[in-house]
Structure 1
Amino acid sequence: MNTIINVNQSLFLTIDKFNETFYNVCYASPPTIVSDGLWVQIDYRKPMKASLPLLELQMLIIFCITQFFHFFLKHLDFPLFVPQVIAGLLLGPSIQLEALDRFKKSVFPYGTQDTLATITSIGYTLFIFITGVQMDLSMVTRTGHKAWTIAIISLVVPLIISVPVIGFYLQSNLGELIKDLGPLVLSQTMISFAVVASLLNELKIINSELGRLALSSVLVSDIVGTTVSCVANVLGGTGGTMKQFSLSLVALIAMIIFVLFVCRPAMYWIVKHTREGRLVDDGYVNIIIIMVFALGWVSAKLDQDFMLGAFVLGLAVPEGPPLGSALVKKLELFGQFWFLPTYVTCLVMKVDLSVNFSQTSFGVIASFITVTHIVKVIACVVPALMCKIPLKDALAFALILNAKGVVDISFFSTLYDDSAISAQTYAALIVSVVIIACIVKGGLKFLYDPSRKYAGYQKRNIMSLKSNSGLRILACIHKQHNISALTDVLDICSPTTQHPIIVDVLHLIELVGRTCPILISHRLQKSLSMGSHKSYSDDVILAFDHFEHENYGAATAHIYTAISSPTLMHDDVCQLALDKVASLIIVPFHQRWSADGVIESDDKNIRSLNFTLLEVAPCSIGILVYRSPLLNNSSVRLAMIYMGGKDDREALCLAKRTLRNPRINLVVYHLATGERMQNLEYLLDNKALEGVQKSHNGMENMSYHEVKVNDGPGTSAFLRDIVNEHDFFIVGRRHENNPQTSGLTTWSEFQELGVIGDLLASSDFESRAGVLVVQQQGKDT
């Protein structure tokens, strides 16, 4: 009997004859790839029996299932790949229900899983390539002894401990499980840079000190592990003869040399011939993508993993813009966020949790996994404690180096496909990846809180400084136009030789095309010859060198560049402010105005950063709204709006420091209701104003005015009257339960500026005056 079936419907037709089973492979030629439409009535030309519509339907179903579980699990802080694993278990043979089985047989017929996994493995290849692009290989040479020590110990110790354990089990009667022990230990010992970087990004601690140390250690571990794996693959694929081993090793080294000395210089040539600010030509990007798969094919021919070529080429790509960032932007959405989740689901669809687990095999697998990770935790904690890392941070660090994720699932699938491990072991390993990933992420959230190091254990504000002491400021810069704004504000702060200002300038650059954040001290680079290389911060360095020269002996500037993700920039700012014992952080407002008052740019990332800094900054913070430059040779009409509260007291302290500059004419406006409140805040406000009230009569460049204001509309009307009389305003941010601001909070557009700052920055006032909004960060916050 001849039966014609579509290749996507089934690869094999089973025919029973004389108690024997024959497999009759049927293939429709030419194959039906694209459907003729929904209205075609021929059976073998139905839409879902065509290859492409079926593939699209499968990917759509997987996407919907993963997003459904992700919607619920993201609120419980599960790792991002867990919904993909659940989708694989649901669509695989692990869950056996009659209705579900019929659905899976019709939508995922036999043979299509492998086709789907092969196509979506493109996403995994691109993911590995992007990981290599985002790696900063120079970290290996710059990594300190801590990272090297911990990385090597965490690799070697579990392997050494496992040798006697394997010997013990070899003497036992474990049957088929014996061959799984070697790959089992190796799989639990190795750790991937991509997995750790993804975990740290999820937890938003990649910029923390612990995150940087973990990335350095994992990078060393990953490079060492990849090297050992390559040598092992060469040995395994040569048949044991020295000649074949030598030829394979030489071919592998030749491929790496080709990448380093041909591909990498060619990429630098592309970067050199790309004009600053322009995108890399798409033709170059497409050639590099073709090279990714060509080198993968070469790797496979050399008995190596297909991903090795993509990884090595990724390492050769110059990180960051313009080439690295162009590749990441072009491939990330297609590979990492579309094909990769489908690929993970396809790998997990091979898992069959309904297989019979004997008590012995389950106990051996579980004990091996548990013991290996416990040994690895101890191997990480002990050297970390010897390096003076606190116990909680050492435990968190050990958990990071035990992380599991997508790369491990792919590795286990490869072992299973190569028959290196059994189906029971494969199922146990996939489940262990989910359990370990959840334990690691939950344990890290419990053990490590990067914001706790920003807590104010001592006063770091302007009020706490002695009257004759210097002022240390951390000034943040995002774009070139922020430079003149900050130098104007620093001039207003009136540095003198008796009252100097130390400025730590932090140039914040968005991290694109790389994983590892960077903090550069340009003071350390001054003695180095930079050649023809142009730094991102050259203009910043020149501007503040000039500022320091103009205020010789009165101002000192230290320049830093931080390259990190916008969501994690606050870590760089807070850590530097903490290290430098800064009393004030100055950050630019997220909007920029043109000369005629029209908004030129509105950066939501900067606004988000400002909100975060207001919450976690370890010292006082000021948000600078800058509209027009202050003329160096003319007087500056400065106003301070005072209504009471700790933020206003802090702003008043800063305003009084400006009086050392004779160019500055300060006016302090005290908006009062006339009521006397006998509480602590009222007494502190009066004490802060005493010095201003008594001394303004004897100072030519300061005046004091008390204005009676009873409500919010009165405050708004008063500010509208004086806004064009001044060049610059210093105000406090918070005025809780203040009658002078009643009714104004509802209409505030920018909460980060407070009520008064928002009014002064409003376009309704048509003012060109700059505003510095100050928030005090005291010991009690």
Structure 2
Amino acid sequence: MDAAQFAKRAICQEDLFNFNPIITTGMQAACMLVISHIFHLILTPSGQPGPVANIIAGLVLGPSLLCKIKKLQEFFIQSSSIEYYRVLTFNFRVFFMFLIGLDTDVPYMRRNLRLASTLAFGGIIVCTLFGAASAIVILHLLKFSYSKWTLVIVIPLILANSASPVVIRMAAELKIDTLEVGRLGISSSLVNEMSCVLLYSAYVSVQNGKKFGNGILCLFFMVALVILNRYLAIWFNKRNQNQKYVSNTEVLIVFVLVVATAGIIESYGYLSTFACFLFGLLFPREGKTARTLLRKLTYSVHNFMLPIYFGFVGFQFDVKHLMSFENAIMIVLMISLSTGGKIVGTLAACHYLNIPKDEGVLLAFILNFKGHTELLILEIVPKFIAWWTRKLHSLVVIVVVLDTLIAGIVVVFMLRTREYYFAHKFVSIESHDTDRELRMLACVYCSRHTSATVGLISAMSGSQNVPFTPYLMHLVELPEKHRKTKLMYHQLQDGDQFSDEEEYGGNDVLEINDVVDAFTADTKIFINQRKVVASFAAMYEDVCSGAEDFRVSIIFVHLHKHQRIDEKLENGKEGIRTSNQKILSHAPCSVGILVDRGHTGFKKPGSELVQQVAILFFGGPDDREALACSKRIAMHRYIKLTLIRFLSSVSKEQLNKWSNDASNKDDEVLLAISDPKVDNEMDDASVNDFLNRYVKSGRATFAEKYVNNGEQTATILRELGEMYSLIIVGKGRRGHTPMLIGLTDWEECPELGIVGDLLASSELSISGSVLVIQQHRNHLNKNNVDEL
């Protein structure tokens, strides 16, 4: 269709709904969006995620049900809107594939490429074999006598493919995108889909010499845009150093380049799916440009584009094609082969990779989600295959819809019935090995906290060879009264947003972003940023739910005190203290409270600033958790770590006397003292493991301090506070020990425990920062929240 014919289509018609196809298409898309969201709300309580609800909404709205009504059929099914739908869906898939690439966890993909590829190709190979066999049956039933090999290639691709947009959206809504099986499913689906797209592109390119030449040209355009995007991102970041985000004009330039390149690729008969994914995957992650693109795309794609896109998939479902016995046989056959092929191939791969069978079955159904590349093939194939009929198109759409609905229901059922099996189990650092990926959540209340937090993230990253995923959550107080800005789009400054929430945080957002960008550029460690706007009374709920969703092993927060210029600690907002106490009580994992002495204490370690860190070990689960944290820190090449174990030098007779005296006083708040010679096996095992793994290898040093009472302990702590830039200690739960007797006079910050409270007090007047660790408690109650 040329430009003149297309313009003629846009001329006003007499029919109210057809007076302009552009307006009609917009109204149809709006109706699809509203109905999709309604079904999403209806099905959410049953656990069904968005894509399944959207497809069902499209199915209900389509010719199978509501569009059987003549008026609705005339409105939704119009030949004048076909071209507009194609343009709309093209732009949608360009944007969400670009977003998928931009949001892909590249370090995880790199580490687990072998696992993901094995799972993906296991399903592809078996489904290809099953699909080739089913194509022969379809050829016989539909009585095709020409282009047989084309059908033998297309049908296996449709059966073998896994729709990564559906998988990613399902995983996000079911909150398994941070679970190992969910992350592996996402990675496998990406490998699966991109492999199918490349196989299809290879088939197109070998048709003739011209197609092959066009393929080389498309490859040149892809490489050119990847290189251009890298230079544009660097340039845009430099141009907007004093802005939170890059401008709308600069975002538009990136979008136009991506859409234009994708359009050129598809005009040559190739799929742009892989190209758009590659553009996002290779786009520079650090800096304002990537952050702005993610912000612009995430909300619109997840809330507008994907619901319409998935709804349109269901809309193409026509139940009348199921009325024929031959059609029904073909549909059941293709669904059975697709599902069976995924199960057989994935379970075989899982057996080879030693992945449990339950996870293998879940992965098989995750990889059986469809609805993206299949529709693209159905759209492009008729252009060069004359025998591709509307009937065959409808049958494949039915298979795609039913496959996705069945897989979605099975996945939800498995996750609900095996909830404990798929729950997050690594809720403390002590519970998993240092070679396993560490996921941590660091919270900041203001920009003043960012430098120390980034330094702590750097320290916890340990060795570059160990997987590490840090999250940074900016906690912003929600004021009781806030004036809403009511500005039209043209009244907003370039780069501004419509959301009032964006105004919260002020310049702190800019300063935090700048520190994080500089850290990422220096260390190549990508920090996932989030912002929470809530009252201090409810802020802990967002932190705890975020920790569960991210499946982190430890949360770090800042003490409500901050260091003044004269190096004294000053109390900050009482709401911060209340929030920290609630996080300690309700956290689903371990918690660390950082007492930041920014002027004299801990800073980001580097070649020019080697940090001296001490871990104090008195005994108990909190100290063991602190010791487990120090194992990660000990692997950092610019940190010198020292383990200092405190041991009691009190005689057995004196201990018995103190124990009897304490037990005879009803009003005594001190706990009865037990025999210090009774070894704690878990404490000894933890210390011995640290000595064997880190002290003997020269990564850390070790010292023992023998003390009789709390006064001697306080003297040693005062000395250590001037020697180390960071002191790590457990909060409490040490049982009965004479080493801390007399230190309960400090009750300034009971959330820090006895030793932490002393180190954070103005009485001790030390220069080092302090990190107090509380190990996750499975049965925490009000009586032991402040247990020492």
TM over 0.5: yes
Q: Please say if residues 622 and 772 of structure 1, whose CA atoms lie closer than 8 Å, have aligned partners that are also in contact.
A: no
1:328 aligns with 2:298: no
- Change beyond 3 A, Cα 1:571–1:124: closer
Residue in structure 1 matching 2:65, options 95, 98, 110: 95
AA in 2 matched with 1:95: L
1:369 equivalent in structure 2: 335
Q: Please say if residues 94 and 352 of structure 1, whose CA atoms lie closer than 8 Å, have aligned partners that are also in contact.
A: yes
Give the percent of matched residue pairs that are identical in Structure 1 and Structure 2. Answer: 17
Q: Deviations over 1:321-349 (max 9, x none)?
A: 43322212122333442233223323433
Quote the Cα distance in structure 1 between the aligned partners of 2:209 and 2:193.
Answer: 29
Q: Please say if residues 159 and 338 of structure 2, whose CA atoms lie closer than 8 Å, have aligned partners that are also in contact.
A: yes
TM-aligned CA deviation for residue 536 of structure 1: 2.5
Q: Secondary structure at the match of 1:536?
A: helix
TM-aligned CA deviation for residue 212 of structure 1: 4.1
Quote the Cα distance in structure 2 between the aligned partners of 1:128 and 1:248.
Answer: 22
TM-aligned CA deviation for residue 380 of structure 1: 1.6
2:76 equivalent in structure 1: 108
Q: Secondary structure at the match of 1:205?
A: coil
Quote the Cα distance in structure 2 between the aligned partners of 1:457 and 1:674.
Answer: 39
Quote the Cα distance in structure 2 between the aligned partners of 1:728 and 1:63.
Answer: 52
Q: Deviations over 1:11-55 (max 9, x none)?
A: xxxxxxxxxxxxxx99799537xxxxxxxxxxx697995666655
1:588 equivalent in structure 2: 557
Quote the Cα distance in structure 1 between the aligned partners of 2:581 and 2:375.
Answer: 39
- Change beyond 3 A, Cα 1:78–1:128: same
AA in 1 matched with 2:426: Y
AA in 2 matched with 1:87: A
Q: Deviations over 1:531-589 (max 9, x none)?
A: xx9973698x8xxxxxxxxxxxxxxxxxx9574576776688756xxxxxxxxx57224
Q: Deviations over 1:728-777 (max 9, x none)?
A: 998669xxxxxxxxxxxxxxxx9xx97999xx99xxxxx99999876554
Structure 1 unaligned segments of length 5 or more: list them. Answer: 1-24, 33-43, 461-472, 489-503, 513-532, 542-559, 576-584, 634-644, 663-667, 704-726, 734-749, 762-766
2:519 equivalent in structure 1: 536
TM-aligned CA deviation for residue 647 of structure 1: 8.5
TM-aligned CA deviation for residue 674 of structure 1: 6.7
1:85 equivalent in structure 2: 55
TM-aligned CA deviation for residue 93 of structure 1: 1.6
2:121 equivalent in structure 1: 152
2:167 equivalent in structure 1: 196
TM-aligned CA deviation for residue 94 of structure 1: 0.9
Quote the Cα distance in structure 1 between the aligned partners of 2:100 and 2:624.
Answer: 50
Quote the Cα distance in structure 1 between the aligned partners of 2:166 and 2:145.
Answer: 31
Residue in structure 1 matching 2:354, options 388, 392, 396: 388
Quote the Cα distance in structure 2 between the aligned partners of 1:61 and 1:571.
Answer: 32
Number of residue-to-residue matches in the alignment? 595
1:303 aligns with 2:269: yes
Residue in structure 1 matching 2:449, options 472, 481, 484: 481
2:423 equivalent in structure 1: 451
1:626 aligns with 2:588: no
- Change beyond 3 A, Cα 1:426–1:226: closer
TM-aligned CA deviation for residue 366 of structure 1: 1.1
Quote the Cα distance in structure 1 between the aligned partners of 2:673 and 2:297.
Answer: 61
Q: Deviations over 1:371-402 (max 9, x none)?
A: 23212222122222222222223333333322
1:515 equivalent in structure 2: none
1:714 equivalent in structure 2: none
1:498 equivalent in structure 2: none
Quote the Cα distance in structure 1 between the aligned partners of 2:168 and 2:518.
Answer: 26
Q: Please say if residues 95 and 297 of structure 2, whose CA atoms lie closer than 8 Å, have aligned partners that are also in contact.
A: yes
Q: Please say if residues 88 and 348 of structure 1, whose CA atoms lie closer than 8 Å, have aligned partners that are also in contact.
A: yes
What is the correspondence of 1:718-757 to structure 2 with a 5 Å cutoff? none
Residue in structure 2 matching 1:337, options 288, 294, 303: 303
Q: Secondary structure at the match of 1:318?
A: coil
1:73 equivalent in structure 2: 43
AA in 2 matched with 1:158: C
Q: Deviations over 1:101-127 (max 9, x none)?
A: 43x157536346536624542333211
Q: Secondary structure at the match of 1:90?
A: helix
Q: Secondary structure at the match of 1:125?
A: helix
- Change beyond 3 A, Cα 1:46–1:626: same
AA in 1 matched with 2:261: L
- Change beyond 3 A, Cα 1:611–1:361: farther
1:31 equivalent in structure 2: 12
TM-aligned CA deviation for residue 298 of structure 1: 1.0
Residue in structure 1 matching 2:219, options 253, 271, 274: 253
- Change beyond 3 A, Cα 1:429–1:437: same
- Change beyond 3 A, Cα 1:604–1:415: farther
Quote the Cα distance in structure 1 between the aligned partners of 2:665 and 2:552.
Answer: 40
2:200 equivalent in structure 1: 229
TM-aligned CA deviation for residue 272 of structure 1: 6.1
Residue in structure 2 matching 1:132, options 101, 110, 114: 101
TM-aligned CA deviation for residue 208 of structure 1: 3.5
Q: Deviations over 1:128-152 (max 9, x none)?
A: 2222333467877655543333333
TM-aligned CA deviation for residue 191 of structure 1: 1.9
Q: Deviations over 1:469-491 (max 9, x none)?
A: xxxx9997556837758999xxx
TM-aligned CA deviation for residue 259 of structure 1: 2.7
Q: Please say if residues 439 and 470 of structure 2, whose CA atoms lie closer than 8 Å, have aligned partners that are also in contact.
A: no
- Change beyond 3 A, Cα 1:611–1:190: farther
TM-aligned CA deviation for residue 435 of structure 1: 1.8
Q: Please say if residues 131 and 156 of structure 2, whose CA atoms lie closer than 8 Å, have aligned partners that are also in contact.
A: yes
TM-aligned CA deviation for residue 80 of structure 1: 0.9
Q: Please say if residues 85 and 345 of structure 1, whose CA atoms lie closer than 8 Å, have aligned partners that are also in contact.
A: yes
Q: Secondary structure at the match of 2:319?
A: coil
TM-score when scaled to structure 2? 0.59
- Change beyond 3 A, Cα 1:244–1:408: closer
Quote the Cα distance in structure 2 between the aligned partners of 1:248 and 1:158.
Answer: 30
1:163 equivalent in structure 2: 132
Q: Secondary structure at the match of 2:354?
A: coil
TM-aligned CA deviation for residue 274 of structure 1: 5.5
1:402 equivalent in structure 2: 368
Q: Deviations over 1:68-105 (max 9, x none)?
A: 2111211212121222222222322211588x543x15
Quote the Cα distance in structure 2 between the aligned partners of 1:310 and 1:487.
Answer: 35
AA in 1 matched with 2:253: I
1:117 aligns with 2:85: yes
Quote the Cα distance in structure 2 between the aligned partners of 1:164 and 1:30.
Answer: 49
AA in 2 matched with 1:83: A
1:360 aligns with 2:322: no
1:701 equivalent in structure 2: 712
AA in 1 matched with 2:119: I
- Change beyond 3 A, Cα 1:537–1:646: same
Quote the Cα distance in structure 2 between the aligned partners of 1:145 and 1:650.
Answer: 33
Quote the Cα distance in structure 1 between the aligned partners of 2:190 and 2:9.
Answer: 49
1:508 aligns with 2:474: no
Quote the Cα distance in structure 2 between the aligned partners of 1:623 and 1:231.
Answer: 53
Residue in structure 1 matching 2:33, options 51, 59, 63: 63
Q: Secondary structure at the match of 1:78?
A: coil
2:404 equivalent in structure 1: 433
- Change beyond 3 A, Cα 1:181–1:365: farther
